[in-house]
Amino acid sequence: MIPVLTIDGPSGVGKGTIAYIMSQKLHWNLLDSGAIYRAFAVAATNRDIKIDNVDDLLKLASNLDLKFHSDPGQNNLNIYLDNVEISAELRTEKTAELASNYAMIGPLRESLLIRQQKFKQLPGLVADGRDMGTVVFSDAPFKVFLTADVEERAKRRLKQLHDKGITGNISHTLEEVHKRDERDANRKHSPLKPAKDALIIDTTNLTINEVVTKVVALVKA
């Protein structure tokens, strides 16, 4: 039995940070499933495959040459597509928006499923995304769903972008975060929603440490 902790939630809620801290605490593997959707979006855009060309999108998904690398003890996932580093391009809002659009395509999600499930390796896995607890690891023993007010999430997203040297303004970021969440939550296939057995944590007024304490308590229990 390989234990899995799933951390789902909308954009800008801090899933990546909490997932990284938990993976360090537990010494478990880490899956940033959003990075797979983002890398797919970069690959499809590079090849100029249109969003309605599902056959070619599926071919691309099954041949996607994607490698992840992170330095031990650092939250810096480096992603290589066809052996070229695309980490900076991956983190832009433009890529996020494209990823959210491709993520609506049901057969594409299915073809990216096994790639995600392969991350489930001993001694355990922390997986963050939108459908980790509901679909990809629906039998996970530990499930968390993070929420926060949209204004707070926009602020966090803006800070994240600034820390990476990317500029933006609050009203534009707020609009983007809101639009993406609406699309992710209202799509037909694997929409963003809490699993029935997930612990829901509203992080609007919580520090990172306070959220981590709640997640640690869940895993310990």
Binding site for ligand DC (CB under 6 A): 11, 33-34, 37-38, 96, 99-100, 103, 129-131, 180, 184
Rounded Cα distance, 4 and 143, in Å: 8
In angstroms, give the least distance from the CB of 14 to ligand DC. Answer: 11
In angstroms, give the least distance from the CB of 119 to ligand DC. Answer: 12
Q: Tell me if residue 38 falls in helix, strand or coil.
A: helix
In angstroms, give the least distance from the CB of 177 to ligand DC. Answer: 10
Tokens of 4: 């899995």
Report how far apart the first and last C-alpha atoms of the chain are (Å, whole number). Answer: 17
Is the CB of 38 or the CB of 120 nearer to ligand DC?
Answer: 38
Rounded Cα distance, 129 and 10, in Å: 8
Edge-to-edge strands of the sheet including 199-202? 29-32, 125-129, 4-8, 142-147, 199-202
Is the CB of 11 or the CB of 203 nearer to ligand DC?
Answer: 11
In angstroms, give the least distance from the CB of 218 to ligand DC. Answer: 20
In angstroms, give the least distance from the CB of 12 to ligand DC. Answer: 8
Is the CB of 26 or the CB of 177 nearer to ligand DC?
Answer: 177
Is the CB of 57 or the CB of 96 nearer to ligand DC?
Answer: 96
Is the CB of 103 or the CB of 220 nearer to ligand DC?
Answer: 103
Residue 202's Cβ-side half-sphere holds a number of Cα atoms within 13 Å equal to: 4
H/E element holding 68? strand 66-69
